[in-house]
Amino acid sequence: MNAIQLFSVTLLSVLAANAQVIMPGRCPKATVQENFDAAGYLGTWYEIQRLPHAFQKGQCSTATYSLNSPGVVGVLNRELLADGTIEEIIGTAEPSPTEPAKLLVYFFENSPPAPYWVLSTDYDNYALVYSCTDLGILHVDFTWILSRQPTLPEETLEELHSILNSINVRVDKLLNTNQNETYCSVMNQ
């Protein structure tokens, strides 16, 4: 086995162990929200569903976006871990000048940015976010369905699932995020 094959097998094993959603081929060409209004997107969003990935393990997850400076959005992601601790990560996001719904998110100094594409939002109720990492002949999908409230109507979820299906995202792998008011009350203290 040559070095490239060994690296590929090792990488796939690590990703599979972390419950990532690995798909064949390169990342799909996804259509993003037209005329994206970053100012309308600011504020707090509750995570309703997401694809599994290694960097997020908790419940009661929220994302809060604020304007840091012109063209730079502040990002605060929070979640409640199983042991009762609250984990948060702070970053920044910068919209693409040509496609503002395609943002690059930076969480760590000197690390590459993560793509954050807003596929659909009405700004007041829901947002559908997609990200993808190419691994050559494979890719890893990341998806978040967000809401301004801790719940989202089933009809809205179905519409958002339809968008994901159109780009071959595995909606059957989406995880529901617990946003139960009693369980999540520690997040508001």
Terminal-to-terminal C-alpha distance of the chain:
54
The SS3 assignment for 142 reads strand
17 CB-near residues (< 8 Å, 6+ apart): none
- Please give the Cα distance from 102 to 80 (Å, whole number): 28
* pLDDT tens sequence for the chain (189 residues): 554 443 444 444 444 444 577 767 788 888 999 999 999 999 999 999 999 887 888 999 999 999 998 888 999 999 999 999 999 999 999 998 889 999 999 988 777 888 999 999 999 999 999 998 878 887 788 999 999 999 999 999 999 999 999 998 989 989 999 999 988 988 876
Domain count across the chain = 1
Return the H-helix or E-strand segment holding 3: helix 3-17
74 CB-near residues (< 8 Å, 6+ apart): 65, 66, 67, 68, 90, 91, 92, 93
100 touches 118 (CB < 8 A): no
Task: Write the CATH number for 35.
Answer: 2.40.128.20
Q: Which tens digits make up the pLDDT trace of 157-166? A: 999 999 999 9
Residue 18: its pLDDT value, please?
A: 45
- Per the structure, the complete domain to which residue 170 belongs is given by 3-188
Residue 187: its pLDDT value, please?
A: 81
Q: Which tens digits make up the pLDDT trace of 9-42? A: 444 444 444 457 776 778 888 899 999 999 999 9
